[in-house]
Structure 1
Amino acid sequence: LVKMLAKSADVGRARRIDDGQGRYVEFAKRTLPRNLSLEGLRVVVDCANGAAYKVAPQALWELGAEVISLGVEPDGFNINRECGSTEPAALCQKVKEMRADIGIALDGDGDRVLIADERGRIVDGDQLLAVIAESWQADGRLAKPGVVATVMSNLGLERYLGSLAISLARTPVGDRYVLEHMRAQGFNVGGESSGHIILSDYTTTGDGLLTALQVLAVVKKQQQPVSKVCHRFDPLPQVLKNVRYASGKPLENAKVRSAIEDAQARLDGHGRLIVRSSGTEPVIRVMGEGEDKVLVEEGVDGIVDALTNAA
Structure 2
Amino acid sequence: MPAKSQAQVLLEKADKKANSPGGWFASSTTKFEEAGDLYQQAANSFKIDKLFKEAGDAHAREAECREKSKESSEAANAWWNAAKAYKRGYPDLAVQALTQTIVHLTQGGRFRQAADREKEIGQIYLQESNDLRKACDSFERAGDWYAQEDATATANACYKDAADLHADLNEYQQAIARYELVADHSLGSALTKYSVKEYWLRAGLCALAMGDPIAAKRNMAKYTSQDTTFASTREAKFINILIEAVEAGDQEMFTGAVVEFDQVTKLDNWKTGMLLKIKRGIQDEPALL
Range into which the TM-score falls when normalised by the shorter chain: under 0.3
TM-score by length of 2: 0.26
Q: Give 1 or 2 for the bigger CA radius of gyration.
A: 2
TM-score by length of 1: 0.24
- Between Structure 1 and Structure 2, the one with more strand by share is 1
- Between Structure 1 and Structure 2, the one with more helix by share is 2
Higher relative contact order (CA 8 A, sep 6+): 1
